[in-house]
Structure 1
């Protein structure tokens, strides 16, 4: 796949603000089949340093609530302000397990490379996330995983970069399908 929107961004800026894989390319692919319009309010859950929020605001023209636990709202606000996006992106410092929003507030939730950290319990989708999304709203998730679960026999090449506890949130598509299928949403 080609990434015409993502490839326009300054590579140094991306390197300075990435907290994992290239979130812009992942987001560009994720949103390719989703209709997001400028009148929508989007929750960017687990936004990190806000790269995905920046992309959503600049490329799709939506109002973004950039929510993260590890990066402060003040730090993200300064980054958004430097780019002239302070009127399109609202930075929020919050835990995904205790979101400070009104029910049925968002048209969509986007989560790139973070959902696997907080959404890996059967009740999370229905009790912690879905209440904030309007009826018929969009939930779009992209996160790492395995083709099959290796937790009882992790390949040594994986343990070069990660510890077993780091990989505890990586699961197979089958595992995620079974978990998310339990949701009433």
Structure 2
């Protein structure tokens, strides 16, 4: 049995993966990856011993993970969420309508949030710090997102603004298809 304390960088409950910035001695941090499952991973809150589902976990939360060897990977058997006064991260999904790297803003036309479908929201971000991943890849990479990209954004609301922390880019909007039609014309001039 192994134990690690740190901050959740990202998690994908459908893929069953969680990445942690594990706190090490003398203030150094290392990244560790864990397998998580709905039936084998227990999630509790330290303060009140309340049980949660793995879908209740969010990027940015401080946690203690107990894990065991499961072949070549670590299986998280228990995750204890540390109480925090910091706001929890929220999620939004949709299509990027515009992006401006200089001031660090982008607009997102939300599609998945109940009651927010079709709403255009403005997010702020630090271009040097935001982590962008591409589904189904599990490795964070520096990607250039563009208007029209379908993304899932994890953010926190602070001072009335949505501050994006991470972004997952999907190759296509789930359940939709795109058709491109090209029309050509020929003009002949006689003299």
TM-score, scaled to structure 2: 0.23
The structure with the largest strand share of the pair is 2
TM-score, scaled to structure 1: 0.23
Give the number of the structure with larger relative contact order, counting CA–CA contacts within 8 Å between residues 6 or more apart.
1
Based on CA coordinates, which of the two structures has the bigger radius of gyration?
2
The structure with the largest helix share of the pair is 1
